[in-house]
Amino acid sequence: MVEQPTATRSLLNTARLMDDNPTLMRLKELEVLEKVTEKVDRLTVFGGLDGILNDTVKLQVNAN
């Protein structure tokens, strides 16, 4: 299967781009948020857009 390593490599390249470019990361966050909001009937926002983006998804990076 060639597809799985190719897909993994593509994801890795995308992750590297987002790591180097905070604007690209924010655009991806907005894209994901858009997909999530398409699946709900009602969305109540507290804390504005920053509150949603910062409080809904929290990424942890382990320092090794």
pLDDT per residue of the chain (64 residues) written in tens, 0 to 9: 567 888 999 989 988 998 888 888 888 888 888 888 888 887 776 777 677 666 665 555 555 5
Residue 64 in domain: no
Residue 35 in domain: yes
**Domain total of the chain:** 1
The confidence score (pLDDT) of residue 10 equals 92
Residue 63 in domain: no
The confidence score (pLDDT) of residue 18 equals 86
Residue 33 in domain: yes
d(CA 56, CA 44): 13
Residue 18 in domain: yes
Residue 62 in domain: no
Residue 19 in domain: yes
Residue type, 19: D
Q: Please give the residue range of the domain that contains residue 12.
A: 3-56
33-62 in b/e form (b: 16+ CB < 10 A) is beeeeeeeeeeeeeeeeeebeeeeeeeeee
The confidence score (pLDDT) of residue 53 equals 67
The confidence score (pLDDT) of residue 4 equals 83
Residue 61 in domain: no
